[in-house]
């Protein structure tokens, strides 16, 4: 099973503010949907609560939370092991936030699907620092411009380097 992290981050690693996305780039949202459809997605409770549509369709929605809560159409677990167990038999699963969930899964991740937004933002939620020496860039898009948000962005896909 491949564990993939999918995230959009700013130049200064901001991923959100006030439990919401800061930017809305249509191509990034389409990429997220294309990559994750048909797969399990694992996220924290706050990320799930911030979604406009719950649960996200055509995906198994798995929420990691220490609170005793239930969400219709989603699985709620309180540890990483149980989250991964729910995905047994799948070829690839996606970790989609928030910051604490990313931090817990980075050591386990095999791939990173990053949308790099080429601007610094004020925010209160940050993607954890990555040691990019441990990762190999296997695909990079050209630099795109989104006229609706007035932002430049690039898609960067990494795979974890093999230990030698």
What pLDDT shows up at residue 78? 95
Predicted confidence (pLDDT) at residue 150 exceeds the cutoff of 60? yes
Task: Look over the chain and give the mean of its residue pLDDT values, rounded to a whole number.
Answer: 95
Give residue 52's pLDDT.
Answer: 84
Over residues 70-78, the mean pLDDT reads: 95
Q: Tens of pLDDT along 88-139? A: 999 999 999 999 999 999 999 999 999 999 999 999 999 999 999 999 999 9
In tens, the pLDDT along 31-58 reads 999 999 999 999 999 999 999 889 999 9
Quick one: pLDDT at residue 163? Answer: 60
Residues in the chain: 164
What pLDDT shows up at residue 55? Answer: 95
**How many percent of the chain have pLDDT more than 70?**
99
- What pTM did the predictor assign? 0.95
Q: Which domain holds residue 14?
A: 2-160
Half-sphere exposure of 141 (CA within 13 A, CB side): 17
Number of domains in the chain: 1
Task: Identify the CA nearest to 71 among candidates 84, 59, 62.
Answer: 62
Tokens linked to 136? 């190999």
H or E element at residue 103: helix 99-105
For residue 131, the domain's CATH number is 3.40.430.10
Distance CA 12, CA 69 (A): 33
């Amino acid at each position: 099973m491949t564990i993939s992290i999918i995230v959009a981050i700013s130049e200064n690693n901001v991923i959100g503010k006030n439990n919401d996305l800061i930017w809305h780039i249509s191509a990034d949202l389409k990429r997220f949907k294309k990559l994750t459809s048909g797969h399990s997605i694992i996220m924290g409770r706050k990320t799930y609560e911030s979604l406009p549509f719950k649960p996200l369709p055509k995906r198994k929605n798995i929420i990691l939370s220490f609170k005793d809560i239930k969400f219709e159409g989603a699985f709620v677990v309180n540890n990483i092991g149980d989250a991964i167990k729910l995905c047994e038999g799948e070829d690839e699963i996606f970790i989609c936030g928030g910051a604490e969930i990313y931090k817990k899964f980075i050591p386990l991740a095999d791939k990173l699907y990053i949308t790099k937004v080429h601007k610094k933002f004020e925010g209160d939620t940050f993607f954890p620092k990555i040691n990019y020496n441990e990762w190999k860039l296997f695909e990079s898009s050209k630099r795109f411009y989104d006229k609706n948000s007035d932002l430049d962005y690039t898609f960067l896909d990494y795979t974890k380097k093999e230990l030698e």
